[in-house]
Structure 1
Amino acid sequence: MSLFNILDIAGSGMMAQNVRLNTTASNVANANSVTSSAGDTYRAREPVFAAQLQQQVTHQHGPLGAGINKDLEALGGVRVAGIVESNKPLIQEYAPNHPMANEEGYIFKPNVNVVEEMANMISASRSYQANVEVADAAKNLAKQTLRLGK
């Protein structure tokens, strides 16, 4: 695996965690919104990640060019397969004096748990940082390899 492939994999991880952070921020921003009907209420969203494997065929010539040795090298990464809405029930409150209350006096709040969202935000931030450190280590290895030629 080349250093460029490592950078691609770390980059895909950073992009995925960026989507996770944006989704979490959207959930937190809408946590206190109120509507008068369940159909219009914001629902918590979660990104779905999928492993991204790609087979790369590398050709290496044997001694004196006697033949071609084909090695399969699996390249990895992650991609965002989609963003799904949570199927947890919405929060329904009886508040007849609220301006957004429906005819029965109920208001609907999103199914966002702010504590869970903050834990997701910390986890995504640390995962992003881990990918940055992998990319930085690969960059430093490339620099050291270039210095060997001096």
Structure 2
Amino acid sequence: MAVAASALKAQQARMRIIAENIANADSTGRTPGSDPYRRQIPVFSSSNVDGATGVELARVAQDTSDFTQEYDPSNPAANAKGYVKKPNVDPLIETMDMREAQRAYEANMNVIETARDMNSRILDILQK
């Protein structure tokens, strides 16, 4: 159960990071030519959990892929040619990542519920 709980915490952190990416998908820089929001990526590592191997969020890395550019001379972040750097966040990819994290979270919840049911049945057997 402790391993599944560590996975729940990791997936919860992953969903928070994905939500931040989606929220900033249209965030441009504040000054002409400045960089916009850069997509964040969760990096996980193994951890010792009650003598077993669990998972934890090790750090949050930045996606180093290139920014896209959009012609919008009225934007305050536009460069001298009228182009604005847009974040390297693809809402479709973020949505798919969020769904995958939700499924992993649900799977670990099922593990905890099954383990709890098994413990309850063992107690029932021992009481008889």
Shared fold by TM > 0.5? yes
Mean CA deviation greater in 46-55 or 111-120: 46-55
CA contact (8 A) 1:38 1:90 kept: no
5 Å matches for 1:104-143?
Answer: 104-143=81-120
The match for 1:83 is 60
Give the deviation of 1:92 after TM superposition. 1.6
Choose 1 or 2 for highest CA Rg: 1
Residue number among 43, 46, 50 corresponding to 2:45 in the alignment = 50
Aligned pair in 2 of structure 1 residues 131, 55: CA closer, same or farther (>3 Å)?
A: closer
The match for 1:93 is 70
Give the deviation of 1:109 after TM superposition. 0.9
CA contact (8 A) 1:27 1:117 kept: yes
Residue number among 27, 32, 37 corresponding to 1:33 in the alignment = 27
Give the deviation of 1:94 after TM superposition. 2.5
RMSD: 1.6
Give the deviation of 1:55 after TM superposition. 8.4
Structure 1: segments with no counterpart, 5+ residues: 1-6, 57-74
**Identity between Structure 1 and Structure 2 (%):** 34
The separation in 2 between residues aligned to 1:33 and 1:99, in whole angstroms, is: 12
Structure 2: segments with no counterpart, 5+ residues: none
The separation in 1 between residues aligned to 2:82 and 2:58, in whole angstroms, is: 39
The separation in 2 between residues aligned to 1:82 and 1:108, in whole angstroms, is: 26
Output the TM-score relative to the length of structure 1: 0.77
Output the TM-score relative to the length of structure 2: 0.90
Q: Is 2:9 aligned against 1:21?
A: no
